[in-house]
């Protein structure tokens, strides 16, 4: 179980915002926690997977996609803020993510 | 059966331009788009020339295709979407005002161009780039259309088939609007070596612009082209209701199979003739009305011989008075896109009363004695024009276009 620091939070946020700004050709300063990934940015579900790959490499995470999938079904992500929170949980709990359900 | 089917929009991406105006100007000017291949090092290939879409197209496409989607598309898919967007813009369509369940997309797709020359393919976009249904899907997604969208593969006749099936869907009152066309590129070492092994391609590499010479005695195979052509098909009633620009009527078509050979056309053009005959019958036009034929005209020994024989078989003595030209002399053979691109050329010929030429017609084949509109375009008022497409596998299509005089 990784320890999440304020620096981690800032870093994750920066990666997510930069990723969406570049991929969706959006103004980064206009993206905030309430920005809808689909409605406001015209994003897609594949972007979530691409971000997971980025974080898996960056933080050397031990997590299977199916674990994230099972969690995401019960906790759907619609906004940037929700996505950042989920990425934080993934980094913190890795393959034990589903234990949060118990 | 519904009434007439009309063409209300067209879009094109080709070696001679990626907007209708530039394309037509170059084509009517008898310009060749054939050059040395730049997409990859072709020095080890027997064929080292092709009619490539200009590299500047990539920059242009960024103004019409979002970055995210563009990364999931091949270069060819981007050509297809750009041509579709041009066609929709020209038609004046606002899909938000349409019943989207009655809007379909049909694209002729032989392959998506996801070859060794395709750049920036990641594991995440490999599948999207390879899906042959991706071209109609991207168009459908762009406008959030809810009617069917699908791809048709009948080799070099693919996009002509797409147009024909689209027409039938409107005729049967299944759809109000069909976006039909196709896009293709086989400019890659695998395809070129494959076609070279079949002796299908010209190896007259120098000068490139003189290589495609349909109906001449020195023709030695087709020259590969690439691009996209997309048309907006609409019921006349629907088009008139929204005051759409009508470019011509799609009067009819014929689709046939030869059941003969995987590569060669049926001897003496019997299958081609049957297709042209059926198309005329289907469209209800009189043979005497046909004033121009945009030939399949590949610049191969067999096609040009048999297509000439087919036209004579259908029209008899009249064949000598019908101008027949091959656009492939200028833009090469665009394979899956050919039917749509050449359909658009035929429509522009009808609209502008200009017949585009067969360039490089310097050494006539004494056996091929029709009027091939040699070397320079010609002014001629025409009422009805045909566009032929014949594909490997014996897939034949003829489309019949008629000048539109209002309802």
**Is the bond into B207 cis (omega within 30 degrees of 0)?**
yes
Q: What angle is formed at CA B283 by the lines to CA B280 and CA B288, rounded to 5 degrees?
A: 50
Of B185, B206, B241, the one marking the end of a domain is B241
Interface test with A, best of B64, B68, B126, B134 (most A CBs within 10 A): B68
Catalytic residues of B: 156, 296, 333
Q: Residue A45 — very low, low, confident or very high, per pLDDT cuts 50/70/90?
A: confident
Q: What is the CATH number of the domain that holds B365?
A: 3.40.47.10
Last residue of a domain, one of B215, B241, B267: B241
Q: B370 near B312, Cβ under 8 Å?
A: yes
Identify all chain B residues contacting A42, using CB atoms and an 8 Å cutoff. 66, 68
Q: Which of B66, B67, B124 sits opposite A46 (nearest CB)?
A: B124
Number of domains in chain B: 2
- CA distance linking residue B72 with residue B128, whole number of Å: 6
CB neighbours of residue B128 within 10 Å: 20
Asked whether residue B235 falls in the same domain as residue B284, the answer is no
Q: Average pLDDT for residues B36-49, to the nearest whole number?
A: 98
CB contact under 8 A, B68 and A50: no
Q: Are B293 and B212 in contact (CB under 8 A)?
A: no
Partner-chain contact A42 B67, CB within 8 Å: no
Interchain contact A42–B (C-beta under 8 A): yes
Q: Helices A45-59 and A65-74 sit at what angle, rounded to 10 degrees?
A: 130
pTM for this prediction: 0.94
Q: Do A43 and B66 touch (CB under 8 A)?
A: no
Domain membership of residue B364 as a residue range: 252-402
pLDDT (tens digit per residue) in B265-320: 999 999 999 999 999 999 999 999 999 999 999 999 999 999 999 999 999 999 99
CB-based contact, A78 to chain B, within 8 Å? no
- Whether A46 and chain B come into contact, CB under 8 Å, resolves to yes
Domains of chain A in sequence order: 6-101 (1.10.1200.10)
Q: Is residue B407 part of a domain?
A: no
Helix (H, G, I), strand (E, B) or coil at A36: strand
Chain B contact for A49, CB < 8 A? yes
Tell if the CB–CB gap between A42 and B66 is shorter than 8 Å: yes
Same structural domain, B210 and B284? no
If asked whether residues B229 and B306 sit together in one domain, one would say no
Please give, one letter per residue, the 3-state secondary structure of B191-260: HHHHHHHCCCECCCCCCHHHCCCCCECCCCCECEEEEEEEEEEEEHHHHHHCCCCCCEEEEEEEEEECCC
Go through chain A and tell me how many residues it has: 102
| CA quadruple B163, B164, B166, B168: dihedral, nearest 10 | 160
In a domain, B347, yes or no: yes
Q: What's the pLDDT score for residue A3?
A: 79
Decide: residue B95, CB within 10 A, 0-12 exposed, 13-18 middle, 19+ buried.
middle
Indicate whether B227 belongs to any domain: yes
The answer to whether position B246 is within a domain reads no
Share of chain B above pLDDT 90, in %: 98
If asked whether residues B73 and B211 sit together in one domain, one would say yes
3-class secondary structure, A95: helix
Under an 8 A CB cutoff, do A23 and B124 touch? no
Q: Torsions phi, psi of B391, nearest 5? A: -115, 155
Q: What is the dihedral of CA B338, B343, B345, B346, to 10 degrees?
A: 140
Residue of chain B whose alpha carbon sits nearest to that of A25 = B67
Whether residue B362 sits in one domain with residue B335? yes
Among A25, A46, A50, whose Cβ lies nearest the Cβ of B67?
Answer: A25
Residues of B with CB under 8 A from a CB of A: 66-68, 124
Q: Over the range B312-350, which residues count as b (16 or more CB within 10 Å of their CB) and which as e?
A: bbbbeeebeebbbbbbbbbbbbbbbbbbbbbbbbbbbbb
- Is pLDDT of B357 > 70? yes
Same domain as B107, residue B237:
yes
Q: Yes or no: say if B138 and B81 are a contact pair by the CB < 8 Å rule.
A: yes
In a domain, B359, yes or no: yes
DSSP character at residue A101: G
Ramachandran class of B52: left when φ > 0, alpha when ψ lies in -120 to 50, beta otherwise: beta
Given a cut of 90, whether residue A101 has pLDDT beyond it is: no
What is the least distance, in Å, from the CA of A102 to any CA of chain B? 33
Same-domain status, B300 and B278: yes
Q: Please choose, from the candidates B38, B44, B41, B42, the residue with its C-alpha nearest in 3D space to the C-alpha of residue B58.
A: B38
ipTM of the modeled complex: 0.80
pLDDT value of position A1:
66
User: In terms of domains, do B264 and B149 share one?
Assistant: no
Q: Which of B184, B208, B241 is the last residue of a domain?
A: B241
- Asked if the structure places residue B297 within a domain, the reply is yes
Q: Using one digit for the tens of pLDDT, what is the confidence trace for B225-255?
A: 999 999 999 999 999 999 999 999 999 999 9
Q: Do B68 and A44 touch (CB under 8 A)?
A: yes
Reported confidence tier of residue B1, pLDDT bands at 50, 70, 90: low
A49 to B124: CB separation less than 8 angstroms, yes or no:
yes
Task: Give A25 to chain B, closest Cα distance, Å.
Answer: 7
- Residues of A within 8 A of B67 (CB-CB) are 22-25
Do B27 and B171 reside in the same domain of the chain?
A: yes
User: Which residue in the block uniquely carries the two structure tokens 């609209």?
Assistant: B351
Average pLDDT of the residues of chain B: 97
Q: Cα separation of A62 and A68, whole Å?
A: 11
Q: Which of A24, A25, A50 sits opposite B124 (nearest CB)?
A: A50
Same domain, B266 and B213: no
Residues B276 and B153 in one domain: no
In a domain, B18, yes or no: yes
B59 and B188 belong to one structural domain: yes
B37: tokens are: 């291949």
Per-residue model confidence as pLDDT tens digits over B107-138: 999 999 999 999 988 888 999 999 999 999 99
Q: Which residue of B has its CA nearest to A50?
A: B124
Gap between the Cα atoms of B132 and B142, Å rounded: 17
| CA distance linking residue B148 with residue B153, whole number of Å | 16
User: How many CA atoms lie less than 13 Å away from B299 in the CB half-sphere?
Assistant: 30
Task: Please compute Rg for chain B using Cα positions.
Answer: 19
């Amino acid at each position: 179980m990784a320890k999440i620091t304020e620096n981690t939070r800032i870093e994750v946020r920066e990666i997510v915002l930069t990723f969406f700004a570049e991929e969706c050709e959006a103004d980064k300063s206009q993206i905030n926690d309430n920005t809808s990934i689909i409605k406001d940015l015209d994003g897609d579900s594949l972007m979530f997977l691409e971000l997971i790959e980025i974080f898996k490499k960056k933080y050397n995470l031990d997590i299977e996609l199916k674990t994230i999938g099972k969690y995401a079904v019960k906790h759907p992500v619609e906004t940037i803020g929700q996505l950042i929170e989920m990425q934080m949980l993934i980094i913190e709990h890795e393959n034990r993510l589903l234990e949060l359900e118990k | 059966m519904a009434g007439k089917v009309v063409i209300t929009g067209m879009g094109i991406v080709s070696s001679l331009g990626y907007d209708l105006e530039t394309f037509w100007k170059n084509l009517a000017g008898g310009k060749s788009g054939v050059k040395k291949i730049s997409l990859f090092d072709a020095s080890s290939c027997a064929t080292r020339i092709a009619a490539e879409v200009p590299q500047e197209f990539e920059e242009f496409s960024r103004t019409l295709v979002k970055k995210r989607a563009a990364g999931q598309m091949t270069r060819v898919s981007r050509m297809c979407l750009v041509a579709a967007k041009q066609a929709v813009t020209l038609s004046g369509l606002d899909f938000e005002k349409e019943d989207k369940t009655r809007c379909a997309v049909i694209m002729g797709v032989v392959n998506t161009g996801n070859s060794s020359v395709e750049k920036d393919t990641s594991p995440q976009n490999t599948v999207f780039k390879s899906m042959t249904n991706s071209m109609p899907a991207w168009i459908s997604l762009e406008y959030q259309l809810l009617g069917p969208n699908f791809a048709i593969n009948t080799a070099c006749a693919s996009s002509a088939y797409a147009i024909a099936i689209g027409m039938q869907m409107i005729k049967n009152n299944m759809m109000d609007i069909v976006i039909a066309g196709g896009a293709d590129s086989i400019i890659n070492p695998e395809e070129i070596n494959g076609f070279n092994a079949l002796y299908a391609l010209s190896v007259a590499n120098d000068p490139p612009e003189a290589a495609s010479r349909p109906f001449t005695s020195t023709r030695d195979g087709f020259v590969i082209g690439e691009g996209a052509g997309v048309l907006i098909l609409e019921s006349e009633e629907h088009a008139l209701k929204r005051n759409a620009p009508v470019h011509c009527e799609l009067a009819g078509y014929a689709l046939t199979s030869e059941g003969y050979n995987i590569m060669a056309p049926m001897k003496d053009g019997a299958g081609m003739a049957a297709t042209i005959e059926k198309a005329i019958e289907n469209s209800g036009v009189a043979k005497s009305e046909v004033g121009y034929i945009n030939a399949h005209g590949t610049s191969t020994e067999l096609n040009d011989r048999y297509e000439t024989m087919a036209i004579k078989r259908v029209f008899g003595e009249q064949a000598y008075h019908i101008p027949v030209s091959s656009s492939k002399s200028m833009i090469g053979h665009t394979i899956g896109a050919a039917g749509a691109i050449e359909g658009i050329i035929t429509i522009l010929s009808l609209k502008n009363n200009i017949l585009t030429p067969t360039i490089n017609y310097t050494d006539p084949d004494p056996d091929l004695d029709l009027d091939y509109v040699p070397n320079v375009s010609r002014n001629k008022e025409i009422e009805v024009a045909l566009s032929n497409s014949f594909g490997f596998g014996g897939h034949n299509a003829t489309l019949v276009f008629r000048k539109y005089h209002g309802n």
